[in-house]
Amino acid sequence: MSETDPIPLSALQHWIYCPRQCGLIHLEQAFADNIHTARGQAVHHLVDTPGYEIKSGVRVERALPLWSDRLGLIGKADLVEFHPDGTVFPVEFKHGGKRQKLHDDIQLAAQAMCLEDMLGHPVPKGAIFHATSHRRREVDITPELKQLVIETAEAIRAMLISGKLPPPVNDARCKECSLKEICQPEALAERARLKRLTGELFSEKE
């Protein structure tokens, strides 16, 4: 990985969920399925064939390639709506109910920023389509969300360049993580605790 290699948009979502998960996937190319990844893949099958259709005057592009040289990001959008009034509106498909999740929102914000750079046109809103409830959740692409995209992309780039895997979070996130078996968060947390205890004992003797 060099300073100029683009980062996949999906890495932002992985990093916000858990930096170690991001490292395992994008540094070590680890992959494992669980019920959540299987559901996610099933949802994306609906929109992973490139093409477009016109619905009530709105051009809807599927699997649209996206990039930003400025941000060093590359990926694709599930759907992008191009409205007759000039509104450009990305829609990301997710499995599950209508719940706000920062890791979904950051991926959408990064897509909106790529579209802005590609088209030279503001993209102030987008939506997450929650497949289980068949409901859309509109997301404002706020300056705070954009700043988070920039900072997260920088953190991921630094991690990929260093080649160092972040430590495990070992919390409730691990229960739903498909990489739990590969990651071994409890074993690593125990090892870190033992190291700390040994260090404390040693320093007490001094």
Residues that bind ligand SF4 (CB under 6 A): 18, 20-21, 24, 168-170, 173-174, 177, 179-180, 183, 185
* Smallest separation, CB 162 to ligand SF4 (Å): 17
**103 vs 125, beta carbon nearer ligand SF4:** 103
* Smallest separation, CB 107 to ligand SF4 (Å): 17
- Which residue, among 161, 104, 110, 186, has the nearest Cα to 137 in the 3D structure? 104
Alpha helices in the chain (DSSP H): 9-17, 19-26, 35-44, 102-119, 143-162, 180-183, 185-205
Q: 179 vs 29, 43, 57, CA distance in Å?
A: 11, 20, 43
* Smallest separation, CB 90 to ligand SF4 (Å): 26
**36 vs 83, beta carbon nearer ligand SF4:** 36
* Smallest separation, CB 24 to ligand SF4 (Å): 6
Task: Quote the CA–CA distance of 113 and 142 in Å, as a whole number.
Answer: 11
Task: Quote the CA–CA distance of 18 and 28 in Å, as a whole number.
Answer: 15
**32 vs 63, beta carbon nearer ligand SF4:** 32
Task: Quote the CA–CA distance of 64 and 75 in Å, as a whole number.
Answer: 9
**Beta-strand pair 125-130/73-82:** unpaired
Q: Report the SS3 class of residue 176.
A: helix
**36 vs 99, beta carbon nearer ligand SF4:** 36
**18 vs 131, beta carbon nearer ligand SF4:** 18
Q: Report the SS3 class of residue 203.
A: helix
* Smallest separation, CB 47 to ligand SF4 (Å): 26
Task: Quote the CA–CA distance of 35 and 26 in Å, as a whole number.
Answer: 21
**17 vs 129, beta carbon nearer ligand SF4:** 17
* Smallest separation, CB 128 to ligand SF4 (Å): 21
